[in-house]
Amino acid sequence: MRDQLRGLQNMYNEAFERERTFPEYARTLPLYFDYLDADDNDENAIATHDNQNYAFIGITLPLVFKISNVCLVLSKSDAISKTLRLRTSDEPYNELQATLFYILLSFVVAHEWSHHKHGHLGQLSSQTRIFQEVLDSGLVGSVDDQIKEIAADGYAAFLVLTHLYDSRRGTFLPFLKLDPSPPPEILDQMFLAFFMMAAAGYMFLRPPDDLDGVDVYRLTHPPLADRLNFLMREVAAWCSHNRPALEDWLMKSFGPIMNATVEAIHGVTDYRQVWANQLSFRRSDAGRQYDATLTEGIAVYRKSWGADTEEAQIIEPPQELQLHLVRGVDDPTFQKAVTDFSQGLRGTNVSFSTRSMAFDGATSTGLTGILILVATTLGPRAIIEFRKLLQSYLTHGGRKIKLKNGPLSIEASPDDFLKVFTPEQIQQLIEPRPPKALPATKPPRRDKGLSD
């Protein structure tokens, strides 16, 4: 393993030397990556600099070994093999372990690199100048700190996925040998599954936070459930722009992949069991407000950092809509209807900037998912197309729809759809009109010639 670690260190440092610069990047000292000796329980990754010679990314050896062990557990899991339909060798450290380890270590390094390139270290106090990745420092943080962590996760996902799906991916991912080689669409699904499992395993490195009585706005990192949810939104957005077919596959496969991952690590068959406290908080009014605060903060952050035009045109404040798609009692074609709906959004001029499914949307009440739609202003024609998609979804009896924007919501069944989901109501929900000003009160009439 020592030779593998040294080889990855050299690869990352050579990449830092060759990296391209962009106008939005913060100026940094020459970047250098290395491993850090530490106590056995010091599982951490840091971004810092010495203010003179180097900008530094460090990962403690205990964290490296923990990452390796988690990837080993995943690679040996029957639940993982069954979900991926992948057979691995009987070697103690097989090719799947090596693949997941490469992906996960690259994600951690890219996360710390993002802190440097987004200028986060320059915004720290001169006494600190260190971003700690795994260790939450308690109630000494802020929403701004958490937004920086979400942004670094998102950019790291963008970098790792872009490299995984590079046409030359065989040259930098030599560990996995598939014989016979699967068709390209199946290989794409496998690579996304590898990333999702590695990222989820990374989130499961720490025990879940107990949010009872905790001021979430003062944490240095978002709670793990929220962090994974925002990461999956970024993954869905990447798929939407780069591999559209994978967005629908992600929607269908997220639950099974997360369940297989948590079964391998924790021995339970439902990932919601591990984060029950956090998911309960997410569904509460306080949790929804917290999520909306982070969503708005991320939109503002992207604009300030130089996001693309599409992101920069989000309504301010951004309107995060939750589209609840509810299954009928006897509904064998429900999943296909959800997939068709998602594909339909891409095929119309419905100007949603992000389409993804909240990872904690599945419940026992027949709700298989909540589509999170961060909306831009919809024109009349786009709203008509949006209504057609919704109406098509409702063709099977028993299905229902609810569209929510904070406390506002409209819901309908097939019988009352045309009456309830009018274009005017949808537009009003997405972009509420300002209240009409009351007419000015006329001043009291004064008769001429009378003194005050």
383 and 261 in a single domain? The answer is no
What pLDDT, in 10s, does the model give residues 267-291? 888 888 888 888 888 888 888 888 8
Does 160 fall in a domain? yes
Q: Count of domains in the chain?
A: 2
- Angle made by CA atoms 158, 104, 292, in degrees to the nearest 5: 50
> Among residues of the chain, what percentage have pLDDT more than 70?
74
Residue bearing the bigger pLDDT, 28 or 215: 215
Q: Where are the alpha helices (DSSP H) in 19-88?
A: 61-76, 78-84
171 and 85 in a single domain? The answer is yes
pTM for this prediction: 0.74
Give the pLDDT confidence score for residue 169 in this predicted structure.
57
* Average pLDDT score over residue span 49-56: 83
Does 302 fall in a domain? no
Does 308 fall in a domain? no
What pLDDT, in 10s, does the model give residues 378-432? 556 667 777 888 888 888 878 888 887 777 788 888 888 888 888 778 777 766 5
Contact 322, 429 (CB under 8 A): no
Does 452 fall in a domain? no
Give the pLDDT confidence score for residue 35 in this predicted structure.
94
Give the pLDDT confidence score for residue 109 in this predicted structure.
94
Q: What is the three-class DSSP state of 439?
A: coil
Domain limit, last residue, from 266, 285, 304 = 285
Distance between CA atoms of residues 122 and 120, nearest Å: 5
108 and 242 in a single domain? The answer is yes
Distance between CA atoms of residues 243 and 263, nearest Å: 28
Distance between CA atoms of residues 28 and 178, nearest Å: 40
245 and 378 in a single domain? The answer is no
With a cut of 80, say whether residue 8 has pLDDT above it. Answer: yes
207 and 352 in a single domain? The answer is no
319 and 269 in a single domain? The answer is no
118 and 189 in a single domain? The answer is yes
275 and 322 in a single domain? The answer is no
41 and 170 in a single domain? The answer is yes
CATH number, domain with residue 343: 3.30.70
Does 191 fall in a domain? yes
251 and 103 in a single domain? The answer is yes
Which of 61-70, 131-140, 207-216: highest mean pLDDT? 61-70
Sign of CA dihedral 71, 76, 82, 84: positive
Residue bearing the bigger pLDDT, 354 or 250: 250
Does 307 fall in a domain? no
Does 375 fall in a domain? yes
Sheet of 319-326, strands arranged across: 352-357, 367-375, 319-326, 400-405, 408-412
Distance between CA atoms of residues 150 and 295, nearest Å: 10
pLDDT level of residue 111 (50, 70, 90 thresholds)? very high
Q: Supply the range of the domain harboring residue 154.
A: 2-285
246 and 321 in a single domain? The answer is no
Give the pLDDT confidence score for residue 390 in this predicted structure.
85
pLDDT level of residue 322 (50, 70, 90 thresholds)? confident
Does 446 fall in a domain? no
Distance between CA atoms of residues 31 and 56, nearest Å: 6
Question: How far lies 225's CA from each of 42, 183, 189, 200, 205, in Å?
Answer: 22, 34, 23, 10, 13
395 and 246 in a single domain? The answer is no
